[in-house]
Amino acid sequence: MISSSKEIIHDFPPFFKVYKDGTIERYIIADYVPTGLDPTTGIQTKDVVISPETGVKVRLFITKLDGPNKKLPVVVHFHGGGFSIGSAFDTPANNFLKFLVSQVEIIAISIDYRLGPENLLPIAYNDSWEGLQWVASHSLGLGPEPWLNEYADLGQVFLAGESAGANIAHHVAIRAGTTGLVGSKVIGALIVHPFFVGKEVDEMYKYICPTSSGCDDDPKLNPSVDPNLKSMGCDKVLVFVAEKDRLRNLGVGYYESLVNSEWPGKVELYETLGEDHCFHLFNLNSEKARALMKKMVDFITQY
């Protein structure tokens, strides 16, 4: 229990606060959804440590297949939460990915990157890139994970993320284009209600990433100033925004940056009216959430 007498020196609701003695207290503690067979969706899950050095894990989601010779596209997912809360193992991420996998034949892999402020940025970006490289290491069927060796079509990889995870997905796609990804091809990116910033300093991001200005001169926070934008390593991008989301205009700006860049791919914008930030994660059964999910499914299957 955190003592109420401790002095708070940084407070970033709804994410975390920092006390003078260095203690960090999160406003939201991620729950843990056990792995195994989900009797409702028929989706099987498992957790795998991909880096013994850092302890970074991924969670895999796969549906029951008719035979061993079927190869499935792969969706690599990065959860949101301001780089400081959330998990690949929590209820919102699991409900979302189980529903997605139940609607389209894919393997989904959610990267449980290390969180700030204990782990300063760019650690979350680097963990996420390492996660994608781990996926790609199965391209010859000789990787460490049997599900991917047997069932993954690594010529059809999609990146997906919401909020801070969408920011990560974008930069992983940039890195795939500038660095290259051996044995795999990133086809598309699902960028959902992305976290970017304008001219006003985002103090929490600056705290988690002390090398950043926290505003729109940082390419991590404003893709329009990124000289590598034209090298984004995928063929197509679908950008989602929500009308009532405070980040809505920044998401539209991201879409426009891609349209106006030299990147040769195809970008589409999808707006949900009357909804707020990441609404679909908390009510997947709503009509608008189902419409958003159908748009994702169509994006994955129409290639």
Q: How confident is the model at residue 149 (pLDDT cuts 50, 70, 90)?
A: very high
Q: Distance between terminal CA atoms of the chain?
A: 52
31-301 has which CATH code?
A: 3.40.50.1820
pLDDT of residue 284: 95
User: Does the pLDDT at position 72 exceed 80?
Assistant: yes
pLDDT of residue 1: 43
pLDDT of residue 66: 67
pLDDT over 70, % of the chain: 97
Mean pLDDT of the chain: 95
- 202-233 residues labelled b (16+ CB within 10 A) or e (exposed): bebbbbbbeebebbbebbbbbbeebeebebbb
The structural domains of the chain, with segments of one domain joined by +, span 1-30, 31-301
Contact status, residue 66 vs residue 59, Cβ threshold 8 Å: no
> Residue 6 contacts by C-beta under 8 Å, 6 or more apart in sequence?
19, 20, 21, 23
pTM: 0.96
The catalytic residues are 163, 245, 277
